[in-house]
Structures are given as structure tokens and as C-alpha cells.
Structure 1
Amino acid sequence: MPPRAAPLSPEDRREALVRATRPLLYEHGRAVTTKLIAEAAGVAEGTIFRVFESKDALIDETIARAFAPGDVLHRLDEIDPGLPLRERLLAMTSILQQRFLAIFELMRALGAVGPPQHLHDRPEIVTGLEEVRRRLLALIEPDADRLTMTPERVLHVWRLLTFAGSHREIADDDLLTPAQIVDTVLHGVERTDG
């Protein structure tokens, strides 16, 4: 039996359970047991049901948190807007690719082919993803006069290539590197040497 957990507020307890559940979902998917979750969180199994109505409710909350932008916004804010465009795009690609890889791995573990429908009901996720888009666009816009497409269109093409190049099934298990993605977006694939 695990040692008795320190008293936490219901919100702090929910947070601790979500944090403990996320890595277990990668390993067990939805088949994870409340016993495993309780052990990982260092609480008694019944504690879960004091703050979540069911195991499914805990799993759904954990999945929603995984899809929320999380630290992506902070990491984007750390990109120096004074860097050359290619360097900014490389940093952006690394951040987004790491996020996509984590999300795709979670979806694979859950046996899902797309994000759960209930995420569209979460305004904080919709708003957060729009904020990610806004910050990405702000990192491209300073070079608008050097681009053959609008910054919005460059962002769209870059995101599509980053998404597809980061998805093992779409990329035939041959993931693109951030440099390959960025150089394809910036320079295309046609030789210009002769």
C-alpha cells in the first residue's frame, strides 16, 4: 500500500493525477488501470474518484491537456525575432515537430486516428491553438517582402509539411528533419546551379 499522500486541494489533486496518467497512456493506452494510476500518483485508488467521476473522465482530461498548447507558447516566445528567417523557421519547426511527435505517439497508443471530438468543446484549447498560430505568423511576417507568398500562405505550407514530415505513417517512417522542412519551404526542390 502506498504511503498516505499529503493533503492537496481537489484542483491540485486533479493536476497530480493528470500528470501521473499521461506517461501511462503512452504505455497502456485506454487500458491503463486505476491501480496503475494510483501507484504512479502515490495515492489510494479511491482518491481518483474523489476528484474524477470515472477513469474515462480522468483519461479524457489527460488527453485534453496533452492537446493544449502547454509550453509551446513559451518556447515560441523564446525565439529571437532578430534571427535570420531560416533560423527562426528552424526553431519553430523543432518546437512544432516535437509537439506533433508527442501527440502522434499518444494517438497511436490510444488507437486513435485523429483528435478526440470532445477537444472542440474546450475553448482553452481552441484559443490556445489560435494563439500558437498567431505567434508563428508573427515570426514570419518581418520577412514578408522577401517571400513569394503571403506570410499566411507560407505558414500554411510550412505547417502542412511539418505535420506530414513528422507523422510516421504519412512519411513512410522516414521523418523529415527541421532543416529539410525549412529548406524545402524556403528554396523548393529545383536546382538553381545551372
Structure 2
Amino acid sequence: MSTEERRETIAVAALPLLAEHGTDVTTSQIAKAAGIAEGTVFRVFKDKQELLDFCVLRAFQTHETLELIDSLPDSTPLVERLVQAVGALAEAAGRAGALMHALGATGYRPDESRLRKSASKEHEHPINEEFKKATTALAKLLGSGSEVLRVPAEQAAGYLLGLTFVGQMQAKRSGGPAPEVAELVDLFLHGAVGATTNQGGKDR
């Protein structure tokens, strides 16, 4: 197993523990979850800070979700594809949000210089890169149907992602359930105001 494969295995095992315990989790617990000796953790990570930073980046990676979105058949109605795509993105955002909440509550502060070194583009934060990838994937999906968009597909995709992430954040803060994905998609496609009402709120 290569170093990168080992790092990936450790991060996947560590993420649920970090979401539950934050920085209080020990490398011993992580090693046990990964089925390796604790010393192996420090053979592929310089220290616990590097491990935490790597796990944060792993939590925000979108390649698995983007593969799912890309696999949605064009023959499926756009609304159904959007519900599946947004549902996958919302789940990923929920997991990442829970992780960051637990880490922040236990004192985690990212090494920004280290995070930026992992970006593929100079001066680009890697998490922003992932957001852009998700926006591009949604824009491609929105542009694949026969529906006429009122704004450019990339802009529309940004609005939909924003609506999705805000819904997740509000649910986290209130302790209530996240909005239904189908409801968010319907709101995005058709708006909050019914077509049969005028500005005064009366039926036409």
C-alpha cells in the first residue's frame, strides 16, 4: 500500500471519530479504527495537526459525489436528477459541517499555509476548488435538459448550492431537521411565490 493510499485509509477511519469527539480523539483510537499500529499513523503523517488538516480536506472532497451526479442518465427527468444530485451534496455538506463543528468546539485551528499547498491552483484554497467543482457539475446538469434557464447555468448552480448549504446551516443551528431536498429543488425551480397571486396577495 502506497503512502497516499495509507493516508486515505487512515482519514476514512478517522472522520467518524473526529465528528464525534473532535480533537479529543487520540491517534491510538484512530489507529485501532483503521486496523493498524499507532506508529503507522506517524509514518505517513508528520504530526496530529497534519492528520487533522488532511481529514478536513478529505471531508470536503467532492469526487465521489461528482461521480454520482455524472452517472445520472439524461433520460431521467431534470427534477429527479436534481433531487438526487442535491441530496448527495446536502449529505456531504452535513457530514463536513458536523466535522467542523466538533473540531472547532475542541480547539482545532487549521494550518492554512499547509492547506493552501495542497491546492492545485496557486492562491486557490482547496475547499474553494471543491465548491467550484460542485458548481460546475450542477451547471452541467442544469444545462443538459430542454428547460430554458433565466440566468447562466453556472450562476443558477451557485444559487442552488447556496440554498442547499444555508438549509444545512440553519438546521445545525436550530437543532431541527434539514429541509427536504425535493422542497429545496421545487423552491429553486419555481420560486417561493405562487403564480396565481399578485403583489397584494390576492388571487388573480
Normalized against structure 1, the TM-score is what?
Answer: 0.81
Residue 188 of structure 2 aligns to which amino acid in structure 1? V
Structure 1 unaligned segments of length 5 or more: list them.
1-7
CA contact (8 A) 2:62 2:134 kept: yes
Give the counterpart of 2:137 among 106, 110, 135: 135
- Per-residue CA deviation, residues 92-147 of structure 1 (Å, 9 max, x unaligned), is 211111111111111111126xx944544422545554333222111111347523
Query: Identity over aligned residues, as a percent?
Result: 35
Alignment of 1:4-83 (within 5 A): 8-83=1-76
User: Given the superposition, is the C-alpha separation of residues 12 and 87 from structure 1 closer, same or farther in structure 2, using an over 3 Å criterion?
Assistant: closer
Q: How does 1:49-128 map to 2 (within 5 A)?
A: 49-111=42-104, 116=110, 117=112, 118-124=114-120, 125=126, 127-128=129-130
- Give the conservation status (yes or no) of the 8 Å contact 2:7–2:44: yes
Counterpart of 1:184 in structure 2 is 187
Shift of 1:65: 1.1
Amino acid at match of 2:141: L
**Distance (Å, rounded) in 1 between the aligned partners of 2:175 and 2:14:** 30
Stretches of structure 2 lacking an aligned partner (at least 5 in a row): 121-125, 197-202
Instruction: After TM superposition, give the deviation of residue 9 of structure 1 in Å.
Output: 4.1
Shift of 1:188: 1.1
Q: Distance in 2 between matches of 1:157 and 1:9?
A: 40
Partner Cα separation in structure 1 for residue 131 and residue 77 of structure 2? 25
Aligned pair count? 185
Q: Please say which of residues 86-95 and 121-130 is displaced more in the overlay.
A: 121-130
- The one-letter amino acid of 1:179's match is A
Counterpart of 1:76, as a letter, is: I
Deviation at 1:171, TM superposition (A): 6.3
1:191–1:15 Cα change, 3 Å: closer
Secondary structure, counterpart of 2:161 in structure 1? helix
Equivalent AA in structure 1 for residue 194 of structure 2: R
Q: Using the TM superposition, give the Cα deviation of residue 182 of structure 1 relative to its aligned residue in structure 2, in angstroms.
A: 0.8
Q: Which residue is 1:159 aligned to?
A: 161
Point out the more displaced range, 21-30 or 168-177: 168-177
Measured on the aligned residues, the alpha-carbon RMSD in Å equals 2.5
Change (3 A) 1:170 1:148: farther
Which residue of structure 1 lines up, in the alignment, with residue 199 of structure 2? none
Aligned counterparts of 2:79 and 2:182: Cα–Cα separation in 1: 9
